[in-house]
């Protein structure tokens, strides 16, 4: 099994490849993403934490991998990300727990990579 760090790197390569294959969609999605994540009433860290919880609840491994990495970049601490994972589990019920434990493993692998 790949680590989450490897999965994130693979996912980014696949995403970049898709964006080259569909440049108009890529451009539009990129603009949408930047608009949604731009600081406003909520700062970037808070938005990334929200995205982590949603990613767990909708069972999207690449989504939680990328948003955990972005939350760390935005200054989130391990405890804050764990709480966001908890909210995602709450919103998804039992299946969310299966993804939440993977998200925690991802967080720990990304933190280890930063050492």
Per-residue pLDDT of the chain (115 residues; tens, 9 = 90+): 689 999 999 999 999 999 999 999 999 999 999 999 999 999 999 999 999 999 999 999 999 999 999 999 999 999 999 999 999 999 998 889 999 999 999 999 999 999 9
How is 8-67 classified by DSSP, letter by letter?
Answer: HHHHHHHHHHHHHHSHHHHHHHHHHHHHHHS-SSS-HHHHHHHHHHHHHHTT-HHHHHHH
The hierarchical CATH code for the domain 4-114 is: 1.20.1290.10
Domain ranges of the chain: 4-114
User: Rounded to two decimals, what is the model's pTM?
Assistant: 0.89
């Amino acid at each position: 099994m790949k680590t989450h760090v490897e999965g994130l790197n693979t996912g980014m390569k696949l995403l970049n490849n898709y964006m080259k294959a569909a440049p108009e969609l890529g451009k539009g999605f990129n603009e949408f993403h930047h608009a949604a994540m731009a600081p406003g009433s909520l700062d970037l860290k808070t938005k990334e934490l929200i995205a982590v919880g949603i990613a767990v609840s909708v069972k999207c491994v690449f989504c939680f991998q990328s948003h955990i990495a972005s939350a760390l970049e935005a200054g989130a601490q391990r405890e804050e990300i764990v709480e966001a994972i908890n909210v995602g589990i709450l919103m998804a019920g039992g299946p969310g727990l299966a993804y939440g434990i993977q998200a925690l493993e991802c967080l720990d692998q990304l933190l280890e990579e930063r050492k």
